Amino acid sequence: MIHGVNLSLQFKEQCICKNFSFDVRVGESVCLSAPSGKGKTSILKMIMGIITPKGGEIFINDMGLNSQNILAIRDLFSWLPQNVNLPINSIDELIELLLLDLDDIRYFNSYLEELEISEEVKLHNFSELSGGEKQRIILAACISKQKPILLLDEPASSLDDHSIDLLFKLLNKLKNKTILSTSHNQKWIDNCDRILTL
Ligand SMILES: Nc1ncnc2c1ncn2[C@@H]1O[C@H](COP(=O)(O)OP(=O)(O)OP(=O)(O)O)[C@@H](O)[C@H]1O
């Protein structure tokens, strides 16, 4: 489903990857692993077509990523950037910002319940929420957009072990989703089907 072939990326003198090839198959949950600053986010940004590799190609569903099909390809993804700081005060504003439609909202509410976000917490101002509550809410919204591929950059940075278990219980029910994530959290990594080392 996501296929990188001989990818090379360099920022000035810094080599991020050279002839890096990988495959993420349909329905798999793969964690991209590397020490901090080695280029995990940069790989996700290449897959989203935000930065262009110096060499190599990316295929999504056998379609080569290029400037003509980039919007169609991006439409297959739900992307959770790292340390997202959203300009919102409430869950309603989150729904508006992410353009969730009625079906998405139905899923969103059921996922919030599965991730143990109570009705009371839902009424809090977003700035008052704990880091873990905020992350669970944003993840629920991200998953509720009915996209086949989830790109999750450090989704577990504020989650405790219990929340990670809840999240994987939910993700494991959504067998059709293909998930590529980055994480330094061992529990998250252990729950993924496979580790991809950069
Ligand atoms: N647009 C850019 N221009 C120049 N250097 C960049 C750019 N984007 C990232 N870098 C550098 O590339 C390296 C890899 O960054 P990246 O964010 O991909 O790492 P990471 O593996 O995701 O790190 P972390 O685990 O700390 O989030 C870093 O040294 C970063 O400073």
Q: Is the CB of 39 under 6 A from ligand 1?
A: yes
Q: How far apart are CA 178 and CA 166, in angstroms?
A: 18
Q: What is the ipTM of this complex?
A: 0.96
Whether 76 has a pLDDT exceeding 80, the answer reads yes
Give the pLDDT confidence score for residue 44 in this predicted structure.
Answer: 96
Phi-psi region of 46 (alpha: psi -120 to 50; beta: other; left: phi over 0): alpha
Give the pLDDT confidence score for residue 125 in this predicted structure.
Answer: 93
Give the pLDDT confidence score for residue 175 in this predicted structure.
Answer: 77
DSSP 3-state of 192: coil
Q: How far apart are CA 46 and CA 55, in angstroms?
A: 11
More confidently predicted of 175 and 148: 148
Q: Kindly give the pairing relationship between strand 55-60 and strand 63-64.
A: antiparallel
- From the CA atom positions of the chain, what is the Rg in Å? 17
> Which numeric CATH code is attached to 2-197?
3.40.50.300
For ligand 1, atom 28: residue with the closest CA:
37
**pLDDT confidence bin for 58, thresholds 50/70/90:** very high
Give the tokens for residue 160. 């405790």
Query: Which atom number of ligand 1 is nearest to the Cα of residue 43?
Result: 18
Whether 130 has a pLDDT exceeding 90, the answer reads yes
The arithmetic mean of pLDDT across residues 140-150, rounded, is: 95
The arithmetic mean of pLDDT across residues 58-68, rounded, is: 93
Q: Are 150 and 143 within 8 A, CB to CB?
A: yes
Delimit the domains of the chain by residue range.
2-197
For ligand 1, atom 8: residue with the closest CA:
42
Residue 150 belongs to what H/E stretch? strand 149-153
**pLDDT confidence bin for 87, thresholds 50/70/90:** confident
Share of the chain above pLDDT 90, in %: 91
For ligand 1, atom 10: residue with the closest CA:
11
Print burial letters for 147-161: b (CB count within 10 Å at least 16), e (below 16).
Answer: bbbbbbbbbbbbbee
Give the pLDDT confidence score for residue 111 in this predicted structure.
Answer: 97
Choose which residue among 11, 32, 188, 197 to substitute to test ligand 1 binding: the one with the highest number of ligand atoms within 8 A of its C-beta.
11
Rounded alpha-carbon distances, angstroms, from residue 156 to 80, 118, 140: 11, 20, 13
Paired strand residues for 24? 2
Whether 19 has a pLDDT exceeding 80, the answer reads yes
